[in-house]
Structure 1
Amino acid sequence: MSGRHLLVLPYPAYGHMMPALPVVAALVERGHRVTCFTTGEFEERVRATGASPRMYEPPPSSAPPPENVDADEAARSALRLLDASTAVLPSIEEGCDGVPDAVVYDTTLWLTGRLLAARWHRPSVQLSPTFVSNEHFSLAERMQRFSGPVDPGHPALAEFATRLGEAITGSGLREEQQAELFHGYQEFTVAFLPQRFQIAGDTFDGRHAFVGPALTDPTEPTAPAAWQPPEGGAPVLLVSLGTTVNHDAGFFRRCVRAFADLPWHTVLALGGRIDLAELGPLPPNVEAHRWVPLGAVLRHASVFLCQSGMGSIMAALAAGVPMVAVPHHPEQYVNAERLGELGLAEVVQREEATPEALRAAVTRVAADDGIRDRIAAMCAEVRAAGGAHRAAEVIEDRLRSVIEEAV
């Protein structure tokens, strides 16, 4: 199948764009015309895939969540996201170059994607860079174990219900379809994780395709000289808090103290919100950068100390690297809990992340053959899941089945 017009609506944040872009590129390679909405931050990355970039107006926020995400913040953030999802609708309808053959959308923009697909009577595919929910498992409910339960009477939830009702008015959805619009259990979904990592994975049916991370094969680096370990053969520790919680210079200073006299080489990936000078003088076995080529460093790493964002986890699993997880926000706590359940990492609670605790955890994980064996098994599943090209096949299969049903 080729020559179809596909509308792709990724959420414009690193953890969502990075898995989606290889899928966009794979769809273009298969001969499809792809219109992909984004923001200025990612415009050139979209263009490099061969897709036609278009701008969300107004651009959805990619600002990181607050330091502490409690139940009140969870309720308010849901309302903010609903408003953002409806605000971009006119810009998409005006800029998508006609009615597409299918709508492919990020799960964060669930309302945007499902409303447009219903309005245009087109098939849709949901992209999920994190755990998928169904009748047996709810990510939102699991997150409340860490943020606290949201008060059903919270004014933001009442406003959410009102605005959701306004949004679906005139959408063409039957009454029984409107509840499904919210839950999305019947949506055809591509999840960027292996099925064995998915919580309650055996309860998901053929509507869900678990393709693993859409990453370049770590055994075939595109930039082999991007980062190389120093001579001497010391084990490498990579430390990164990802792209949403990388503002805590104190955490990285604790890491410097933890690993300064360890016979390891430590690489700190600080992100864009910490000045290197905030760390003070670094010992010779510690290097710090705003950004590092994650895959290039992971190819040489013995342990990855991370915040347990799903993108970081999948990159580590693809490279076969054990982890020490220090979660910061509710979704990361869910991820870290799953890592612990599967024996793929040791979890250190944020408030307990002293230099001594971090050092001890890294040392234990590095010496644990059981963790390494389980990581190797999951790595094999990640590589067998198919990644971006499998995702493109699944999207084509979805479109093909709808066309055949209509004939």
Structure 2
Amino acid sequence: MTGTSRGGPQGRPLHLAFLPYPAFGHMVPVLPVVAELVARGHRVTCFATEEFMDRVRATGAQARLYEPPLSSDPPPDVIDADESARAPLKLLEASTAVLPSIEACFADDLPDAVAYDTTLWLTGRLLAARWGRPSVQLSPTFISNEHFNLSEQHQDYAGQIDPAHPAIVAFTQRLKEIVAGSGLREEQQAELFYGHEEFTVAFVPREFQFAGATFDEHQVFVGPTTQAATPDGGSAWQPPADGRPVVLVSLGTTVNNHPDFFRQCVEAFAGLPWHTVLALGKRVSPEELGPLPPHVEAHPWVPLAEVLPHTSVLLCQSGMGSILEALRAAVPMVVVPHHPEQHVNARRLTELGLARVVRREDASVETLRNAVLEVAGDTALRERVREMSRHVRSAGGAGAAADAIEQRLYARPLEEA
């Protein structure tokens, strides 16, 4: 295969392979970037599961199915050290199982570059190395360097993983087998493990990233890429006609199977001069909550972009998507983290003074009510949220991500395969 150099930002249109992870928290920030690249004249082939096919096609990209399908099932309700030790092996097997179908797709039409989700790190790097193509890593959350390690932060909440855990031993052995059988040169195999100087697009603003100032030109922080959309498309929403302040309650797309939590929220805010909006998700129905007071409304999904501008406080599970949408709208938060990654997010919110954290085991009617009222009345916190909102809005979003990808790829010639 002969390398082809590219001259600059006005270079020829590219053919890009996108490998996002097929879960809402990963797909939502990536698809606007795909749409932007297509609008600029590039050809994008984007893999997903059946659930996201229509969304991928709407960007103008060619939609292809992961075969076998990658799971987008929500994680277990409790993630401890044992579950954290078992997860990497499961993901390794699933993410490498799709390799043959991806390679078959591009057998006669190699892409110019591979853009891959961090959870598909081995798949993306291996394909790029085999094809002699540059790659771009896509991260929907915090990224790591020598000053901040996301995996170590997770273990602060899930518990320390025993290196001798059978699943970790099996993961290490399986990883060595896959890399040794990859057909790559020895130095290329080493690069699969370490990804030195891998170029990463992170969908958080630098100011929100842990140790953000310590990252270099190999990382670009673009923040959220679009106004939030609900998983089923959403519908128009109107704020309360009587001007009551709004508290929006959402547990996102992964931990929304707790009807008791929503019932607690109904009780916590029903006696206040507030309007409560409950975004239940697809695993709790409004009927499960029973009769609701006049100033409480419950929906499977609500359009965040329409509700947040009228919201005084967001009560959420501390998922990154919810956090960034709230910060963009300058809405302070009360967060009730469930999983380790949400605890890490909550830690950053606490460090920056942008939210109040309520431990899941402490979430009662009284604590939720008090936390929301404290946040609503904290003028210093609200000013810090407004300042972070300015950073989120100026990070650049999908346009900045597309710029960075183009600059990265036009600046690098194709390698010799």
Distance 2:193 2:78 in 1: 26
CA distance in 2, matches of 1:372, 1:200: 23
1:24 matched to 2:31? The reply is: no
- Please state whether the residue corresponding to 2:138 is helix, strand or coil: strand
| 8 Å contact from structure 2 (residues 227, 325) kept in 1 | no
Secondary structure at the counterpart of residue 224 of structure 2: coil
What is the root-mean-square deviation in Å for CA atoms of aligned residues?
1.8
2: CA distance, partners of 1:286 / 1:185: 51
**Matches of 2:117 and 2:414 in 1, distance apart?**
25
TM-score by length of 2: 0.93
CA contact (8 A) 2:309 2:329 kept: yes
Instruction: Provide the residue aligned with 2:8 in structure 1.
Output: none
Deviations 1:343-375 (A, max 9, x none): 000000000010100000000101111111111
- Cα deviations by residue, 1:4-43 (Å, 9 ceiling, x for unpaired): 1000000000000000000000000110000000011000
**356, 360, 363: which one pairs with 2:366?**
356
CA contact (8 A) 1:270 1:289 kept: yes
Q: Contact conserved, 2:142 with 2:210, CA < 8 A, in 1?
A: yes
Indicate which of 206, 222, 231 corresponds to 2:241: 231
C-alpha distance in 2, partners of 1:217/1:242? 12
CA 180–201 in structure 1, closer or farther in 2 if over 3 Å, else same = farther
Q: Deviations over 1:308-328 (max 9, x none)?
A: 111111111111110101000
Distance 1:183 1:142, change over 3 A: farther
Change (3 A) 1:390 1:337: same
Displacement of 1:76 after TM fit? 0.7
Ranges in structure 1 where 5+ consecutive residues have no aligned partner:
none
Residue of structure 1 in register with 2:84 after alignment: 74
Residues 232-274 of structure 1, C-alpha deviation per residue, up to 9 Å, x if partnerless?
1101111000000000111101101101111111100000011
Equivalent in the alignment of 1:161: 172
Do the aligned residues in 2 keep the contact of 1:2 with 1:30 (CA within 8 Å)? no
Letter in 2 for 1:141: E
In structure 1, the residue corresponding to 2:413 is in which secondary structure?
helix
Alpha-carbon separation, structure 2, partners of 1:204 and 1:102:
23
CA distance in 2, matches of 1:266, 1:284: 10
Pick which of 174-183 and 320-329 moved more: 174-183
Cross-structure match for 2:3: none
Partner of 2:101 in structure 1? Answer: 91
Decide which of 224, 233, 245 is 1:213's aligned counterpart.
224
Rate the CA distance shift 1:225–1:66 in 2: closer, same or farther, 3 A: closer
Partners of 1:119 and 1:313 in 2: CA distance: 38
1:33 and 1:17, CA in 2 relative to 1: closer, same or farther beyond 3 A?
A: same
Encode CA deviations 1:175-208: one digit per residue, 9 max, x unaligned: 4554542343521000000001101111111100
4+ aligned runs moved over 6 Å, structure 1: none
For residue 301 of structure 2, what is the amino acid of its counterpart?
W
The answer to whether structure 1 residue 42 and structure 2 residue 52 are counterparts is: yes
Would the alpha carbon gap of residues 258 and 163 (structure 1) be closer, same or farther in structure 2, given more than 3 Å must change? Answer: same
Identity %: 66
Contact 1:36 1:53 in 2 (8 A): yes
Partner of 2:75: 65
Cα shift at 1:171: 3.2
Letter in 1 for 2:131: W
Matches within 5 A, 1:132-147: 132-147=143-158
8 Å CA contact retained: 1:71, 1:147: yes
CA distance in 2 between partners of 1:157 and 1:253 (Å):
40
The partner residue of 1:118 within 129, 136, 155 is 129
Query: TM-score scaled to structure 1, two decimals?
Result: 0.96
Gaps of 5+ in 2: 1-10
Aligned residue type for 1:341: E
| Counterpart residue number, 2:340 | 330
